[in-house]
C-alpha cells in the first residue's frame, strides 16, 4: 500500500473527521468520534495531510451545519 499501518489508520480517521466536520460537528466532537482523540491530534493530522486547519477546512467546504 506504500504506507505504514499507523499512517493508514491516521488517514482513515482523518477521512472520518473530515466527514464529521462537514456534517456540522465541532472540532472536539470530530476528533473524539473519528478516533483521533483530541483537538490537537486532529489539528496535527490536518496540517500533515491537508496543509490546513480543521476550522479552515470546514469553512471552505461545508455547505450547511454549525460554524465554530
Q: What is the pLDDT of residue 64?
A: 57
For the chain, which domains are there? Answer: 11-61 (1.10.10.60)
Which residues lie below 8 Å from residue 63, measured CB to CB, with a gap of 6+? none
Each of the 68 residues of the chain gets a pLDDT tens digit; together they read 688 999 999 999 999 999 999 999 999 999 999 999 999 999 999 999 999 999 999 999 977 555 55
For 5-26, b/e burial (b = at least 16 CB within 10 A) is eeeeebeebbeebbebbbeebb
Q: Model's pTM, two decimal places?
A: 0.85
What the block records as the C-alpha cell of 33 is 468520534
Amino acid at each position: 500500500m506504500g504506507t505504514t499501518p499507523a499512517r493508514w489508520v491516521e488517514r482513515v480517521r482523518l477521512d472520518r473527521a473530515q466527514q464529521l466536520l462537514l456534517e456540522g460537528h465541532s472540532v472536539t466532537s470530530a476528533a473524539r468520534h473519528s478516533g483521533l482523540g483530541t483537538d490537537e491530534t486532529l489539528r496535527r493530522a490536518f496540517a500533515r495531510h491537508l496543509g490546513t486547519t480543521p476550522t479552515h477546512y470546514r469553512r471552505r467546504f461545508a455547505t450547511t451545519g454549525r460554524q465554530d
